[in-house]
Structures are given as structure tokens and as C-alpha cells.
Structure 1
Amino acid sequence: MILLDVGVGFAAMLESHVHHSAALRLVDEAEERSLGVCRVTQLGWLRLLSNPVTAGSAVLSRIDAWEAVDAVLEDSRVVYLEEPPGTGERFRKLSAANDQSHKLWTDDYLAAFALTGGHAFATLDKKFEERYPALQVLTLPTGVA
């Protein structure tokens, strides 16, 4: 099972996204029930799809954003995953750093979720593997250095 990062799913859904091709390739090559989505991923998609800054002219109303996310979850390659027991404790350990990295909260949670559930993790973030060395990370090619 590969847990999807918010950006991977968003890029796959939005044709105008700069990384649409790379994300769509991952989805197209996936086997049945091999791509995982969690509540945080789902919420991220809803937020990005309904935000004119991130979605541009493809921005959706909240009801349409729900329909887009529902369509992804109806795909036979995608599975909605409940939080594995122990995720909260692992999240606390990963995020209890003596820094002010306010942008890492969601990354820490998704890494904890994937690690606790025994899932690989697909992302566009080239630094993810470095930050979470115990996690099997699939970094999608972005064409950006």
C-alpha cells in the first residue's frame, strides 16, 4: 500500500497542475487497492480544490470538491485508510522537535501514519526521504531540481 501525500493526489486531479503527468502516471500504473488515502489527505484535497489560489480557474465549490474527492475514493485502485493504532504516539515523537518548523506538522503526521501502518509514501517533496529515513518514500519525478 502506498499512502498518497496531499500534493500527489491534488496534482493527479488537476490537469493544469505542473506535476499532473507525474502524479497521473503513478495512479495509472497502480494496481487494485494499492493507493491509500487518509482523513488528512482528504481534507487537504478539499481545501486545495476549493481555493482559487491553488486551483486557479479550475476552482471548485465545496460541494463540487466533495464530488471530486468522492470520485477518487470510488476508484478501485484507491482505499480509504483509518488511522492505525499507535499513529498518535508516533506523530508526537516525530513532531516533538525543538524548532519552529510550522510547515512540518502535516508531514510529520503523514509520515507517522505511513510508518505505523507499514505503508510506503508517495510525495512530490524531495526532502521527505531525508526527514524520515525509516519510511519507504516514493518521490515522484518533477523535472524540478
Structure 2
Amino acid sequence: MKTSMFLPDVNVLLALAFDAHQHHPLAVRWLNSVGDREASVCRVVQSGFLRLASNPALFGDEALTLSEAWVCYDRLIEDTRFEFSLEPLGLEHFWRRLTLGSTYSPKVWTDRYLAAFAIAGERRVVTFDGGFVSVPELEAVVLGA
């Protein structure tokens, strides 16, 4: 499967939204290479972005209020390169398959969900996490690798 559609993970969205994020330049460079409607945001990434962008334990004084987090998210998704995507058909089949051979880790459910979403929806995950390259059938773009 070779596709021009992308599914950025939560950390890529955070890097795009926060200029002070250590990977901001990498994320901006990636986004500048993307055409209109080539980047998808799914509900899990949306929720994760809102949760983390407003978390003072992560961003201290730079953490957004809940209202500001929505405004920031809206600003990102209004960019013509983004679209919101509903779950593709077959996602659960891939999600189950990808988790059955895994052992527990704090990120396993969400990471495997994103991988399954990308596989079922014919998208490439965009991430800073090199662990995605080991997921069978998944095309991953690891920024900074």
C-alpha cells in the first residue's frame, strides 16, 4: 500500500501547535510538504491533543485552558491540509490483530489503534516514535529519523 494520505499522531500536532516544542521545526517542515486534505486527524488524536495541550504537568505556564485548547485545535484543523476522518471500515479487525501479539505497555492500545486506523484507512502514520516502524503492514513516516 502506497498512499499520499497521512495520519499524524498527537505529538506531531503538539509540535505544530507549540513553537517551543523541541520538534516544532521538524513538524512544520513535514506539514509544508503536504498537500490539501492529505493529513487526517482522527478522534483519538484529537482527544489526545486536547488532553495534553491543556496539561500543566507537561506544559507548565504554557498549558492552554480548555477553551484555548479548542481554539488551538480549530486553528490547526482549519488548515486546508487537514481533514477530520471518521473510523474506516475494518479498523477493529486490524486493531485486534495488532494487539493480540503485543504485551502491555502504557501506549500499546493507542499506538496500535493509530496503526490500525492507518492500515484500514490507507494512511501513513506520521510520528517521532520509531516504534511504529516495527508494526506489520504499517507505513510510518518517522520525523527526525
Match of 2:139 among 113, 133, 136: 136
Q: Residue in 2 aligned with 1:7? A: 11
RMSD: 1.3
Deviation at 1:98, TM superposition (A): 5.6
The answer to whether residue 57 in structure 2 is matched with residue 23 in structure 1 is: no
Q: Residue in 2 aligned with 1:95? A: 99
Deviates more, 1:58-67 or 1:99-108: 99-108
Match of 1:106 among 89, 107, 110: 110
- Tell me the SS of whatever aligns to 1:92: helix
The answer to whether residue 37 in structure 2 is matched with residue 33 in structure 1 is: yes
- Tell me the SS of whatever aligns to 1:127: helix
The answer to whether residue 120 in structure 2 is matched with residue 119 in structure 1 is: no
Instruction: Tell me the amino acid that sits aligned with residue 68 of structure 1.
Output: C
Q: How many residue pairs align between the two structures?
A: 141
- Counterpart CA distance in 2 for 1:38 and 1:134 is 19
Deviates more, 1:96-105 or 1:83-92: 96-105
1:34-72 residue CA offsets vs partner (Å, 9 max, x unmatched): 111000010010011100122232211111101111111
Deviation at 1:15, TM superposition (A): 0.8
**Residues 20 and 96 from structure 1, CA distance in 2 versus in 1: closer, same or farther, beyond 3 angstroms?**
same
- Counterpart CA distance in 2 for 1:83 and 1:27 is 22
1:98-134 residue CA offsets vs partner (Å, 9 max, x unmatched): 622232110000000000001111000012102x131
How does the TM-score come out when normalised to structure 2? 0.92
Deviation at 1:27, TM superposition (A): 1.2
Identity, % of aligned positions = 39
* Mapping 1:42-57, distance limit 5 Å: 42-57=46-61
Instruction: Tell me the amino acid that sits aligned with residue 137 of structure 1.
Output: A
